[in-house]
Amino acid sequence: MCSDPAADGSNDQPTATTVAAALREAKRSNPYQSVGDFLSNTNKFQIIESTLREGEQFANAFFDTETKIKIATALSDFGVEYIELTSPAASEQSRRDCEAISKLGLKASNPASHYTRCTLEDAKLACDCGVHGVDVVIGTSSFLREHSHGKDMVAITKQALEVIEYIKSRGCEVRFSSEDSFRSDLVDLLQLYRAVDNAGVNRVGVADTVGCATPRQVYDLVRTLRGVVSTDIETHFHNDTGCAIANAHAALEAGATHIDTSVLGIGERNGITPLGGLLARMIVGSHDYVTSRYKLHKLKEIEDLVAEAVQVNIPFNSPITGFCAFTHKAGIHAKAILNDVKLLTSKIKAMADIRPLAIDDTDSIIRSFHLELQDQQ
């Protein structure tokens, strides 16, 4: 028989009062902190970087092998957890590129994964390339079932389970995703996800393939799915209506664990969640987590590399890296910035009156000043 922890005074479960107090304290230390929720993964998400898969579908994209290797290496050094590659079934060159990148010896936290159709033929090709994992996908909306592959949900489930079993037998990580998730029947989706979860997939995927979802729809679907499966949840958002970043954040709040991104958001049509944009959103409420995992100072370098490869300019309003991202012209904003600069300058001058200053000295003063401002918030 289980004992009652309250009987001996050992019940240390948080009360509503202590939880509320903790949330108030969190808000005082960071007023932009995400709303607390036991499902939320805003402080423990991972990135599936898809520039070398989704990004290849961008109108201007053509990555030769050398460029792919440069991008993969840069992304690995930046700190993304996964790099997703185009299926080797796409072409003979894609297969050779997949094999080359898989042999790079990128850090263990950064395995390469193939994105393939949910067929045994494609799965075998992917596993033969020596990748860490295989991402399989099949359309589940009525539109795709009718016009893409012509299978009903029973056939889709049977095929998915066969492919998952094969990939697992090859020792690869496996993610199963529905395509066009937000236009699929919810009951159909949940039954399919439950079946593949029971089969032992490492992640299930939710895809807003046509970019029609809103943050509220995303939150509702992911939260419902979180109650059905025990495995990780990956999400893929197209940006046709400008909601990709907001949708990604809503998904994490609802319990998703992985977000698909691409550098500068490049991809089919208007692209997907941009790597820099996602991290700009996440650093506001999850500063310590983001800065401890990703080398943000290398973001501009990666964006320059990809922008040159696809012959576009980095947008002026690109989060963090846009040329005017930190430009102030409104009087009230400029005054606040200038007041802080004046105070910082006076600190540097005061120290310079005591002894000569090197660049490292001024850097230290600036860092200390920044930390003081954070403490005052």
Give catalytic residues, as residue numbers. 333
Residue whose token pair is 């492919």: 163
**Residue 203 structure tokens:** 């992640």
The angle that helices 244-253 and 275-285 make with each other, rounded to 10 degrees, is: 50
C-alpha 202/C-alpha 91 separation (Å) is 27
**Residue 308 structure tokens:** 């040159």
C-alpha 101/C-alpha 308 separation (Å) is 21
Length of the chain: 377
Sign of CA dihedral 246, 247, 250, 252: negative
**Residue 316 structure tokens:** 């002026």
What's 57's DSSP letter?
G
C-alpha dihedral (359, 361, 364, 369), degrees to nearest 10 = -100
C-alpha 274/C-alpha 324 separation (Å) is 18
C-alpha 280/C-alpha 278 separation (Å) is 5
Helix then strand count (H, E) for the chain reads 14, 8
C-alpha 261/C-alpha 96 separation (Å) is 24
In terms of Cβ atoms closer than 10 Å to its own Cβ (0-12, 13-18, 19+), residue 212 is middle
Q: What does residue 234 show for φ and ψ, rounded to 5 degrees?
A: -100, 145
- Check: CB of residue 195 under 8 Å from CB of residue 161: yes
What's 355's DSSP letter?
S
- Check: CB of residue 190 under 8 Å from CB of residue 138: no
